[in-house]
Amino acid sequence: MLRNLAWKKTDTRKLKPEIKEQFRKQIIQLRKSGKSNKEIAEIVSIYHTNVSKIYTAYKKGWFESHRI
């Protein structure tokens, strides 16, 4: 019998600001390297919708002081 082995996703709301910043930087670098939102979500263990939100915010300049 096969079991559904889902990875536990990280709740980024509970993370310290410096850890959130590391997530953002990693997500942005991975998107720039051509990875899809779903691929990145699997790598960093967050939902792909959050990856999309973070990258969209970056493109709009919301993280202007943290350009990568």
Interval 32-65: pLDDT, tens: 999 999 999 999 998 999 999 999 999 998 876 5
- Cβ(30)–Cβ(43) below 8 Å: yes
Q: What's the pTM value of the predicted model, to 2 decimals? A: 0.74
Question: Side chain identity at 55, as an amino acid letter?
Answer: Y
The reported pLDDT for the residue numbered 4 is 43
The reported pLDDT for the residue numbered 9 is 82
Q: Which residues contact residue 54 at a Cβ distance below 8 angstroms, ignoring those fewer than 6 apart?
A: 23, 24, 27, 28
What pLDDT, in 10s, does the model give residues 15-27? 898 988 898 999 9
